[in-house]
Chains A and B, each alone.
Chain A
Amino acid sequence: MLAIGILGGGLAVVTLRNVIHSAVAMMICFGSLAGMYALLGAPIIAAAQVLIYLGAISVLILFAIMLTQAGDASLPAPFHRQAPIAVVIALVVVGLVAWAVVTTAWKAAPAAAAVAVEAVGNLLFTDYALPFEIIGFLLLAAIIGAIFLARRPEEDERAN
């Protein structure tokens, strides 16, 4: 059921002609993914998915679409001329990876093990403290870079 939501949402994202419809389909896809994380016994990942993807990135993308869309009067053709080649390449990649998935003898447990929120928090601040700090620095750099890139040049001159 959730898989249908994920894959249907994903397909709708890449095939719909209107960009805003694609963004809504993307939110459906991300919401189904959050449900699947909860199903896999990882509620912390599900919560992070809802907060980051459904909350932050979706709103960011919707804002970007609204800022850039001139109006839905003329919807251009959504695909490049090389779309058939892209279909073939994507299918080849999916086929190879699916073949690897099916033929490998996974040493998997029969049931999903739950992720304890407390254990993840402890690991994040002990064993994975350095990646955590690097992520913080990366986000700071991204914020500054985004402000710098999205600023209008003429505001620069007025500020000086």
Chain B
Amino acid sequence: MASLQGYLIVSTALFGIGAFGFMARRNAILMLISIELMLNSVNLSLVAFNAYIPGANNAGAIFALIVMAVAAAEATVGLALVIAIIRTRQTPEVDEYDDLKE
């Protein structure tokens, strides 16, 4: 299990779970959480590559740190947007946001 492929399989499965959650859940906040899951799975694969591929020279660790910072910024703006939308529409369900259809 403790090999590069094991870590990559875990990362892939987590990415799939996040992708399913993003496509299938109706709650806007849950969709943001699913995006965080996908970003975390990519981070895991970056750190695993960094640890197992010789000559990586810590680039994977630094990429992971940068991805974390960007994910924090994305979560901040995304949650602010969701709160603003919920304040006007009174519901977190994304399929109720159909103003443009009318």
- Which residues of A pack against B, CB within 8 Å? 3, 6-7, 10-11, 13-14, 19, 22-23, 26, 29-30, 33, 36-37, 39-42, 44-45, 48-49, 52-53, 56-57, 60-61, 64-65, 67-69, 76-80, 82-83, 85-87, 89-91, 93-94, 97-98, 101-102, 106-109, 112-116, 119-120, 123-124, 128, 131, 135, 138-139, 141-143, 145-147, 149-150, 152
Contacts and interface: CB of A to CB of B under 8 A. Distances in A.
Interface in B45-92: 47-48, 50-54, 57-58, 61-62, 64-66, 68-77, 79-84, 86-87, 92
Contacts, number: 233
Contacts of B68: 48-49, 52-53
Nearest to A17: B27
Given A14-B25, A57-B36, A112 B52 contact: yes
A37 B4 CA distance: 13
A61 B79 contact: yes
A90 B51 contact: no
17 contacts: A3-B6, A19-B30, A29-B14, A30-B40, A42-B64, A45-B64, A52-B68, A64-B79, A79-B25, A80-B23, A90-B16, A90-B19, A93-B15, A112-B2, A113-B51, A139-B69, A152-B87
A90 B66 contact: no
B56 to A, nearest CB: 8
Contact of B3 (A22, A36, A108): A108
A29 to B, nearest CB: 7
A29 B10 CA distance: 12
Tell me if B's interface is mostly helix, strand, loop or mixed: helix
